[in-house]
Amino acid sequence: MSSLTILVIIIVCIALVFDFLNGFHDAANAIATIVVTRTLTPMQAILLAGIANFTGYFTFGVAVAKTIGKGVVTIDSVATPEIKLIILLSALLGAVVWNIMTWLLGLPTSSSHALIGGLIGAAVASAGFGVVILGGVIKIVIFIVVAPVIGMLGASIFTTVIMMLFRKSNPKKMDRHFRRFQIFASLINGVGHGTNDAQKTMGVIALALFAGGITDSFQLQGWIVLSCYCAISLGTVFGGWRIVKTMGTQIAKIRPMDGFSSSISSAFVLLGTAHVGIPVSTTHVITGSIMGVGAVEHAAKVRWITARKIVWAWILTIPLTALCAALTYYFLHSFLHRGLYHFFVK
């Protein structure tokens, strides 16, 4: 087995680990509100989210995967296949480190933007800023702001309409009905999460196979798609309870009606952006939606200190993961040039 093939296998394995951590880290997106309102038990909610994530396999194609694989950086001009693969490996390791750090801190940051930052940092470290596809990166950066704002506005509108329609209803009956609606909304939100997030890892794996000479073009083969959806679904099933607590209790007080509004709003945003191939953060969208719900009834209901910490984490994700991936690239590049790589794999 050639050294390039072994390096490709390593990248595929780490990519699937990242995908698993993506589901583990982002499980809160789909289940936080449904757990906090006690509509479902944590285990029921986790299983629902895992099934919903996998259902994304049958929905909106692979437009986001193509954007990640071909719309963030171009490494075609990089000197050797080996260096191209080191770039991808460094990007994944930088994103994995960021995911673990923010999980330990309980911060609902974006795994998607961690991967994008990793790709940018590693590619720039290798070949300079000329490899960055500026138009694609600008579009992604714009949606760091636009996606949560749309989620916030959508949730605010849903909440306002519901409050007007049910203003004379018995609160207990409302809670009973919206618990059922909330299950449906969380299911759709989970589908949006799986559709959007699993595709990002697919793009990296397809790019690694092409860079390593395993395929003769950028191809999203069936096994890549299936394995990524399985990995993110399993990650979701194991769940990230630290982030569930932040999302469900430390941004705004959530009732079943609020949970329904925030989940259905974020689901529309996630499915819509996946359809047109824009890689957005499920974390940003659902957090914005929860803020929107809390702000409708009274802005003071939103814990803006927590929200401010989350927003700062959003802003810092891409530059910090880019730095982490760049440092990883320099280390791995040095490692290879000392001959240790060939010692281990030949």
User: Residues 95-121: pLDDT tens digits?
Assistant: 888 878 877 776 667 777 888 899 999
Q: Which residues of the chain have pLDDT under 50?
A: 248-251, 340, 343-344, 346
Q: Which one-letter amino acid corresponds to residue 316?
A: L
Cα distance between residue 84 and residue 87, in whole Å? 5
pLDDT of residue 340: 47
pLDDT of residue 118: 92
pLDDT of residue 124: 92
pLDDT of residue 303: 58
Q: Which two tokens stand for residue 157?
A: 């509108």
pLDDT of residue 248: 47
Rounded to 5°, the CA angle 15-20-22 comes to 90
Sign of the Cα pseudo-torsion (105, 109, 115, 117, in order): negative
Q: Are 46 and 239 in contact (CB under 8 A)?
A: yes
Dihedral of CA atoms 325, 136, 17, 243 in degrees, nearest 10, equals 90
pLDDT of residue 240: 54
Sign of the Cα pseudo-torsion (164, 170, 172, 178, in order): negative
Grouping H, G, I as helix, E, B as strand and the rest as coil, residue 254 is coil
Domain boundaries, the chain: 3-337
Output Rg (C-alpha) for the chain, integer angstroms: 20
Q: What is the DSSP letter of 107?
A: -
